[in-house]
Structure 1
Amino acid sequence: MKKSSLITMTAFAAVAVLGLSGCAAESAPAGSTRACVILPDADSGTRWEPGDRPALEKGLAEAGFEADIQNAQNDPAKYATISDAQLTKGCGVMLLVDLQGAGVAVAEKAKAAGVPVIAYDRPIAGADYYVSFDNETVGALQGQMIVDGLAAAGKDIKTASIIYGSGDPTDGNAKMFLDGALGVLDAAGAKAAFTMEGTWDGAKAGTLFEQAFTAVKGKVDAVLAPNDNNAASIIQVLDKNGLTVPVSGQDASIAGLQNVLLGKQYGTVYKPFTLEVAKALEVIKAIFAGETYPTTKSNDGVPFVTIDPISITADTVKDVVAAGDATVEALCTAEVAAACEKYGVK
């Protein structure tokens, strides 16, 4: 599979999405420039608090909008309580990251109050827009990691023992990730030796993988892991059993990038949250201006503003550093220093 370059990424971010799908979204209530944001938790993918929150706060402030950004701390009931308080105070737009389906009811309340809703990163039925990376492409890149990793190891994918993992089934993105991966794996003739229960919880993923490892009697040739957090726990089990096999990932986290450099994880899908924030801000500005933001596709009837993800392998970890989304100091610890030198991470 061709590797995306940072030049391609930057060019894509600069090009306006053309065309229009779906019907026109609502405009913000007259006179309101308050953006209400609900983040789902403080740990999934380790991105919301250290990444999206400050970027959204900065972008909204620079655009002259008031921001109310809160975190539901992985509690759907708290998610509902936060939304009620925000809507009571008044919102010109709501940007919601869904949490176990809680976003659907909040979107309904917001729409009833005339407040447009942007589903951010995860789909929400009934939203006016869905802003996210192209999730089936994310999955396809993960599936390709398994195909390429097995080929590099000289193993026949049609007879390989592959453990399939996936994200939490209550997260609408998880199915799209898995569908994208299966599209590639099925076409290559791969079959699952064992399919794990879906989760985003790293510790739980480790336990589930222990069970899968026992079920296949320790014969594992590759693992389809939905993100770096899951992959890290799976790799711990593989390490304990003296195995190194192709493992996929997602998020380009520090731990994930380190595992990629060390050869313990074949690759990770890089989704620069800065691109997602920038695109969401464009949509918010359009809504406050009473305009309809152009889209090229829809997701279950919701106009979908897509962003291209990037596949990262050991050879391209340096690109994530060059983009400012990882530092040499964080990546190149004593254990990883030799690998950083080998792959030009500096």
Structure 2
Amino acid sequence: MTRLSHTLIAASTLSLGMMSATAAFAAASGTVAFLMPDQASTRYEQHDFPGFKAEMAKLCPDCKVLYQNANADASQQQQQFNSVIAQGAKVIVLDPVDSTAAASLVHMAQGQGVKVIAYDRPVPSTPADYYVSFDNEGIGKSIAQSLVEHMKDMKIPTDKGGVLEVNGSPTDAAAGLIKNGIHAGLQGSGYKTLAEFDTPEWAPPKAQQWVSGQITRFGSQIVGVVAANDGTGGGAIAAFKAAGVNPVPPVTGNDATTAALQLIIAGDQYNTILKPSEVVAAAAAKVAVGFLSGQAPKAETTLFKTPSQLFKPAVITQKNIKAEVIDKGFASGKDLCTGRYADGCKTLGISN
């Protein structure tokens, strides 16, 4: 059994009072909606929804699951939200396109007795019924600290230049938490922040365009890039390569996408965050079925006045990619060691 399987089992058997999941959810039935924000990241289609659907099938075989993706359009997400309520959804798992605009959706749902589970991205101004996510502030701090340690190991002097900060979407509260963590991770490092940018819709082309401008502006003063996710990190790397910069300064990421893991193998990206979305999706499914069963889920902590469960992910670099990603079954050498990445895999001892 892979590490992912073990983790999913652990997530799906978290305690619910003193009752087993089977006993607590025996009478559960109803309609649950799973509303995701965009398709810029492949994770929602490839990991989050499949993980949620699989866990719902185990915990509540009689439940109906509705899935929609808003494709980064807040208005479309509002229409989808209204639609699933009209279809009888009693619990909505919501990853909002716009965390501020989502407050009105939470109000509306709660006014009709519908439970809302904020997923991945919180709704700061209006408490949802529950929040399930990775520790986003911790993610930002971890990738920034990892980058700082790497630059110091490379003996890059703090007075040589500084870093660029490529943040996530300005309408995403989770991106704001990651940004806060990045600031904390860079604080006291000695490396100054040359410039920072909030990437609309987390769109990699917009991150690439901004970084291209900063390369023209700062040139060799850029000694590192803290990018908030793998998409923006990939956009930054593409900008350096287009500008003929070799080697590319160390760039961070977050999500451990296949593309990012390959960039790490090739030495183009320095780090990413391994956070298997299936784990959070399974936890959200358990909370949803708990609400359907009338069993209020216990919370590990509270964030934005919302009962919350936050998972702590791992930082991945070339040093641990084989041990943490390949050997534990999160990805395979067959998928990663293709084309130009084959030589890097050999160097790292990854077989395909």
- Normalization by structure 1: what TM-score? 0.88
The code of the aligned residue for 1:231 comes to: G
- Residue type at the aligned position of 2:245: N
Which stretch shifts more, 82-91 or 233-242?
A: 233-242
Provide the secondary structure at the position in 1 that maps to 2:308: strand
1:294 aligns with 2:298: yes
Partner of 1:25: none
TM-score (norm. length: structure 2): 0.87
Cα distance, 1:327 vs structure 2? 2.6
What residue number does 1:23 align with? none
Alignment of 1:160-175 (within 5 A): 160-175=161-176
Q: Report the CA distance shift for 1:11/1:31 in structure 2 as closer, same or farther (over 3 A).
A: closer
Contact 2:207 2:232 in 1 (8 A): yes
Q: Which residue does 1:212 correspond to in 2?
A: 214
Aligned in 2, Cα 1:321/1:196: closer, same or farther, shift over 3 Å? same
Residue 32 of structure 2: which of 14, 32, 35 is its match?
A: 35
Aligned counterpart for 2:316 among listed residues 298, 312, 318: 312
| Aligned counterparts of 1:94 and 1:59: Cα–Cα separation in 2 | 15
**Retained in 1: the 8 A contact 2:4–2:330?**
no
Match of 2:274 in 1: 270
| Cα distance change, pair 89–6 in 1 and its aligned pair in 2 (3 A) | closer
Superposition RMSD in Å: 2.6
- Write the letter of the residue equivalent to 1:209: V
Residue identity over aligned pairs, in percent, reads: 29
Q: 1:95 to 1:169 in 2, by over 3 A?
A: same
Whole-angstrom distance in 1 between the partners of 2:312 and 2:132: 12
Superposed, 1:128-139 pairs within 5 Å as: 128-139=129-140
Within 2, Cα distance between the matches of 1:12 and 1:160?
45
SS at match of 1:164: strand
Amino acid at match of 2:325: V
Q: Does 1:330 align with 2:331?
A: no
Q: Give the whole-Å Cα distance in 2 for the aligned partners of 1:18 and 1:31.
A: 14
Query: Residue by residue, what CA displacement relative to the aligned partner does 1:64-106 show, whole Å, maximum 9, x if unpaired?
Result: 2210111112221111111112112211211111112343222
Alpha-carbon distance change, 213 to 152 in structure 1, aligned in 2, over 3 angstroms = same
Alignment of 1:222-261 (within 5 A): 222-239=224-241, 240-261=244-265
Q: CA deviation at 1:235?
A: 1.0
CA-CA distance at 1:242 after TM superposition: 2.1
Please tell me whether residue 81 in structure 1 is matched to residue 63 in structure 2: no
Return the offset for 1:126: 2.4
Deviation, structure 1 residue 31: 7.7
Count residues in correspondence.
332
Runs (4 or more) in structure 1 with deviation over 6 Å come to 5-12
Quick check: 1:249–1:268 contact (8 Å CA) kept in 2? yes
Q: Tell me, which stretches of 5 or more residues in structure 2 are unaligned?
A: 18-24
Report the Cα offset of residue 342 of structure 1. Answer: 1.9
- Quick one: distance in 2 between partners of 1:312 and 1:213? 26
CA contact (8 A) 1:133 1:307 kept: yes
Q: Which residue does 2:88 correspond to in 1?
A: 90
- Give, in angstroms, the shift of residue 13 of structure 1: 4.5
Q: What is the CA distance between 1:261 and its match in structure 2?
A: 1.2
Q: Distance in 1 between matches of 2:12 and 2:349?
A: 28
